[in-house]
Each structure stands twice: as C-alpha cells, then as structure tokens.
Amino acid sequence: METALISLVCIAMVIIGTVTLCMSAFQGAISVTDSVKAMETEAGIIRRTGIAAVPPAQYSGGNIELMVRNEGQTNLSQFSRWDVIAQYLDDSAVKHVDYVEYTAGNPPGPNQWTVEGIYLLSGDPEAFDPNILDPWEQMKIVINLDPGIGTYGRITVSTPNGVTSECPVSRN
C-alpha cells in the first residue's frame, strides 16, 4: 500500500514536471515567433524607406542648406530622432567629425540643425500632412556648423530606422 501511494506521488510529479516543461517550451516558441514578426515588420519598413540628401548648388560659408528628398514609400517624421553627422576640414585644415543636434527653433544655434520647411518636388509648400515628409516630398534642413567648413565636407543624414544618405559640400 505504501508503495502504491509513493508511486502515485511520483507519477503526479512526473506529469506536473512534463506539463511545466511543455508550457515553458511553448512560451519560448511564442516569444521567438513574436520577435521574428517584429523583425520582419521593421525590415519591411526599412526596405520601403529611402532618402536622398542633395547638396547646395552654391555654398560660400555660413549655414548649410540641404534638401532631403523622401524617395521611399514611407511617411517620415520625428525629426528630433534623426541623426545628422558632419565630416569636414575647417579653415585651419583641422578635421572635424561632429554629431549635429536637432533643434525645433529657427535659425539653429552652433552645431545644430533644423527643418526650415517641407515642399513638394515642384518647390511648392506641402499642403497635406503638415510636418510629415511624405513620399516624393522634400524638406530643407539648415545646418549651423561651428567652426564652419573650410573647403570640403560630407554631411550624412539618417532616419530613425537607420536609412542614410550622404552628400558632399564644397565651399566656393
């Protein structure tokens, strides 16, 4: 009789252990599946995002004005989460690699950048979705570097999801 009771307790412990193990395995599989879905969603957004930074036609010092075109299929906003990095030589031929901070104010302070406006590709101001860079629109960003670019520089613009564009800037 004692052995039957011990056997029942052992069988119950084996069943409880097996159920717990299976539930843990299922929860792990669900977590992995959710992570893969999230990665696929983010990868799809990145694939549909495209920007092109267009250098200024003339630059003779002072603030740099770049046009950034949205060439993807995704609406872009949250400009405070964008990154702007400037690599350049100043007038003394000292190399600078600077992360330029975003500011909502216009004009930007030293080592800051701002969005001056969003326009259609024709140059007309945007009419729909204010402060959102829709596909095939462009925005003018103004960058204030201190010290300024001497002869040549390169500006990198990056969206929050990591899509980047670079453009050269030459001082005339």
DSSP-based three-state secondary structure for 90:
coil
Query: Among residues 124, 100, 94, which one has the least CA distance to residue 112?
Result: 100
Block means of pLDDT (10 residues each) for the chain, 172 residues, are: 82 90 91 91 86 89 91 93 92 88 92 94 87 94 85 92 92 80
Burial class (CB in 10 A: 0-12, 13-18, 19+), 168: exposed
Write the single-letter amino acid at 158: S
Q: Which pLDDT score is estimated for 54?
A: 94
Q: Which pLDDT score is estimated for 148?
A: 76
Which CA distances in Å does 130 have to 104, 142, 163? 15, 18, 22
Give the span between the Cα atoms of 113 and 75, in whole angstroms.
Answer: 20
* DSSP string computed for 75-88: -B--GGG-EEEEEE
First-to-last CA distance in the chain? 100
Phi, psi angle pair for 78, to nearest 5°: 50, 55
Q: Which pLDDT score is estimated for 1?
A: 67
For the sheet with 137-144, list strands across it.
51-54, 64-70, 137-144, 112-120, 95-102, 83-89, 152-158, 164-170
The pTM assigned to this predicted structure is 0.78
Residue 107: cis peptide before it, omega within 30 degrees of 0: yes
